[in-house]
Homo-oligomer: A and B are copies of this chain.
């Protein structure tokens, strides 16, 4: 941690900061420059991360040197983490595709979609049981009924299933039925929920919040990991910017940035990222080319009648064509899709 003092700082100012740092068990290193005095704190920087040093009179700014996350960082663990869901692996050279409807609307529709995306090459089935909708008057999901359908369809198709958890009180229920728990973008900083999923032994897909920096995203993963559950799959799904042509701006540079900073696998959700079915194809190709470990794509057999997010869902026939195209892109960057 580097503490920069204000111009013209007095010896008293310097002493005040030094004493404080030393009282926290850190060694202090003072460097008087021409224009500024700088104080370096040597030792366990984590002690300082949440100390309000800016409030000490005479301090101009405080600059951390180390990263605030630990367990999820590549410094902590250098080799890539591979997460297994049944015999599907996230984080090795393969690219996994998760597909399915935004929300589970019925057993038959779910089975039909599952059957079809499986044939096209999807490795997991997604389907919402609890839906976080902007409006209280929108369809909120079928709840446990949907979870049961997911489990039944898994039995029939062999596809592991993913569904979103919104409330800590539903954790036990959801764990009974699904293979992977999804934490949605709006709950990325629902810290209580993060702590809870950190205590179960199930893989978690953690979506990036709409206004979360990459550091905050990794800090939320750290919340989960800090409780013991290290089976975390990160998911970039678009951030909020001024552009209105797309629902969000898919930040594909987050993929290689996170690959540098963390050992966790990262997938991309182009459906929410752009919010328009006609852009899923190019954005999926770009996500594969940029190095994503997987994709999460909304597929619906009747998008114009979907109870949720129909305008960003692909029809099964388009999905099939897309996966075929993606295989070629994956191969061009040295990876493979089942």
Contacts and interface: CB of A to CB of B under 8 A. Distances in A.
A100 interface: no
Given A167-B168, A213-B244, A242-B241, A34 B43 contact: yes
Contacts of A309: 52
A246 interface: yes
Contacts of A282: 253, 255-256, 289-291
Contacts of A226: 136-137
Contacts of A83: none
A311 B55 contact: yes
A191 B310 CA distance: 21
A307 B50 CA distance: 7
Contact of A250 (B211, B227, B253, B325): B253
A15 interface: no
A156 interface: no
Contact of A329 (B45, B133, B332): B332
Interface in A1-36: 2, 4, 7, 20, 29, 31, 33-36
B7 A216 contact: no
Interface centre among A136, A187, A309 (most CB of B within 10 A): A136
Nearest to A51: B310
A12 to B, nearest CB: 15
Oligomer copy total: 4
Contacts of A201: none
Interface centre among A187, A210, A289 (most CB of B within 10 A): A289
A33 B42 contact: yes
A222 B256 contact: no
B186 A189 contact: yes
A44 to B, nearest CB: 8
A277 to B, nearest CB: 7
Given A287-B286, A290-B286, A139 B257 contact: no
Contacts of A239: 241-243, 249
A38 interface: yes
A316 to B, nearest CB: 14
A59 B287 CA distance: 28
A283 B279 contact: no
Interface string A228-245: 000000000001111111
Contacts of A166: 190-192
A307 B49 CA distance: 11
A226 B133 CA distance: 14
A197 interface: no
Contact of A257 (B53, B132, B187, B279): B279
5 contacts: A50-B135, A214-B245, A240-B240, A249-B249, A253-B274
Given A50-B307, A289-B329, 13 more contacts: A38-B40, A52-B306, A68-B135, A134-B189, A134-B216, A187-B190, A209-B211, A240-B240, A253-B274, A256-B282, A282-B289, A328-B333, A329-B332
